Amino acid sequence: MDSKWAAFDLADIGERRRQAGDDPWLEFLRVPSLYAGLYVLPAGTADPQTPHEEDEVYHVIRGRARFTVDGEDLAVKAGAVLYVAAHVEHRFHSIEEDLEVLVFFSR
């Protein structure tokens, strides 16, 4: 991206991800110090992610599930904001309602 700023519409991002097929991840922003995407996991599915090289922040925008991070387990729902440091084991599980999550990675 060449611009110093950008604006995004969540509905448009969701539609782009749906059109992309089965991939649960759609990146919509990448700049030198940050990238972001929409992560969607249907109810009843497993979250296959592994620890990342970057710190990250999750903002749950829809759904209900549980989140395990570094041996801790908590319920999450729309409105939850989670921080996970680089290299820490984490994942969503027991997904009760389709989960849509904005994810922000720092570099």
Domain region containing 67: 10-106
Per-residue exposure over 37-67, b if at least 16 CB sit within 10 Å of its own CB, e if not = bbbbbeeeeebeeeeeeeebebebbebbbeb
pLDDT confidence of residue 12: 96
pTM of the entire predicted model: 0.93
CATH number at residue 96: 2.60.120.10
Residue 2 lies in a domain: no
Residue 3 lies in a domain: no
pLDDT confidence of residue 1: 64
Residue 45 lies in a domain: yes
Tokens (6 digits) for 95: 């997904």
Task: Please say whether the beta carbons of 63 and 78 come within 8 A.
Answer: yes
Q: State how many domains the chain has.
A: 1
Q: CA torsion 13→16→17→23, rounded to 10°?
A: -150
Residue 102 lies in a domain: yes
The pLDDT tens digits for 19-78 are: 988 899 999 999 999 999 999 999 999 999 999 999 999 999 999 999 999 999 999 999
The pLDDT tens digits for 80-97 are: 999 999 999 999 999 999
